[in-house]
Copies of this chain bind each other. A is one copy, B any other.
Amino acid sequence: MTMKGIGASATEGGRYTLPVIKDPNTGLVVSDSLAIAEYLDKTYPEKPVIPRGANALIALFEPAYCSVAYGKAVDFILTKTLEILNDSSREYFIQTRLELLGEMHWEAVEEKSQQQWEDLKKGLDEIDKWYQKSGGKWIMGNAFSFADMVVACRTMWWNTIFDEEQRREFHSWNGGRWARVLADVNAECGTDL
């Protein structure tokens, strides 16, 4: 089954990327995680993930998060991600990520990755300040939102690719903020990620 096959729209950059949903109640196909959140809020409004009035600002969150934290350590994260992929995915992953990073050889990515553990830490220090500023346990204070899902999903990703010592250190940063946000999001959503 392909995304085109089920009638999905292309996502950023003209690619067809996951996540995608096909809603059995309406037959609609929606791709791109924020567009999916907006669709679900509109169609099933009883428990919104974008608080009223926050649509425009919530859309700024993931790009800002990426620019401040993930983007500073992208070579490191991608290098660690490559390690857990199976052979049939590796070649495609390398080719598409080199294109994304504007590099010719994976060795260049690996070399940059070696400096980026500290950069990731510093980036997360900035995101931690956003939480401190919010006045509650969520980015929007007492209101759970899509922004916290963005943060939790990064923790989930990194838990999967870091080795045990890296994971332990990561979980000690910012008073344990990152594992806690993931646990809080799991509790809020009834998931176990």
Contact = CB atoms under 8 A, between A and B. Distances in A.
Interface in A46-79: 51-61, 63-64
A16 interface: no
A106 interface: no
B57 A58 contact: yes
A56 to B, nearest CB: 4
A19 interface: no
A136 interface: yes
Contacts of A131: 56
Contact of A133 (B52, B56, B141): B56
B143 A56 contact: no
B53 A140 contact: yes
B147 A53 contact: no
A134 interface: yes
Given A63-B64, A64-B63, A64-B64, A57 B143 contact: no
Contacts of A53: 51, 134-136, 138, 140-143
Interface of A: 51-61, 63-64, 130-131, 133-136, 138-143, 147
5 contacts: A53-B138, A54-B57, A54-B141, A55-B141, A57-B147
